[in-house]
Amino acid sequence: ETNTLPFHPFEMQQGDILRMEKEHQVLKEQLKGAEEKYEQLQSRSSEEISALKELLKKSVEETEVSKNELDWFHQDLEIQVKKWQQEKKENQEHLKALRNTAKKHTDTNDRYLKTIDEKEKQYNVYLNTYLKTSNKLANEKVKLEELIKKSQDDCKECVKRAVKAEISVLKNWKETEVYKLNGVAANAEVNLKMLKSLSSSASAAPKLKSQIDSWEIFISNVKKQLEKVQAEYEEKIQMVKNGVQNCLTKMETVELPSP
């Protein structure tokens, strides 16, 4: 019967104390495990905190450096922004100038296009006029070429006739001069023959010898002049045949005095 009833006020029913002792033992063991785990966690946390402090220190240093770099970057950025703003301003002014220039070029181009259109219209008018005039001139040219050919043919015929006429005139002049000189030579030969017949007598021969010599010299000079006249007229006739102009000149013959 020992320990068969609850032990008031600690037990509400039989075995509560034993059960509480067991639970207490279990809690002690759990507390001990928790303390060990806490110590492990505290040790690990200390290491992690030390590492984090080092990392924080390094981060602070890097942040300081980054801040300095950021300040430098801000300064450089301000410089670049000012430079960019200046360039932007210059580019805007340049763009404005280019737009003005483009507008001027556009206006000039429009004016040139208008002028080109007007010139093209004038050109078409001139071209049509030229074509009409060209056709008209071509027809006139054909007619003129026909007239020129006919004139050339007539001119050639006239030249041939003129050459024939000049040759005929020169031949007539030559024949006239030759006839005249032959007549003079014939008369001189008759006189010479008569003198020679008269000089057959011994008494008259010395007196007539000088006269006979004079007539012989005279006849020789007439024959020389005859040869000269024939040669010169033949030369002129040949020149006329070769196309030389202004050859129709009469030869001036020297009148030889008779002995």
The residues, any chain, with a CB within 8 Å of residue 181's CB and separated by 6 or more, are 222, 225, 226, 229, 253
Tell me how many degrees the CA angle 65-67-72 measures, rounded to the nearest 5: 95
In the structure, how many helices (H) and strands (E) does the chain have?
A: 2, 0
* 256 and 219 Cβ atoms separated by less than 8 Å: no
Global pTM value? 0.43
What pLDDT, in 10s, does the model give residues 7-42?
A: 667 667 767 778 888 989 999 999 999 999 999 988
Beta carbons of 196 and 219 less than 8 angstroms apart: no
CB atoms within 10 A of CB 165: 13
Q: Where are the domains of the chain?
A: 158-242
Report residue 107's pLDDT band, with 50, 70 and 90 as the boundaries. very high
How far is it, in rounded angstroms, from Cα 117 to Cα 160? Answer: 60
- Provide the pLDDT for residue 48: 87
The secondary structure of residue 258, as a DSSP letter, is: P
Can you say whether residue 3 is alpha, beta or left, with left for phi > 0 and alpha for psi between -120 and 50 degrees?
A: left
Token output for 120: 């093209």
Residue 124 has pLDDT above 80, yes or no: yes
Q: What percent of the chain has pLDDT over 90?
A: 36
Q: What does the pLDDT average to over 231-236?
A: 88
pLDDT (average), residues 107-129: 92
> What pLDDT shows up at residue 10?
67
SS3 225: helix
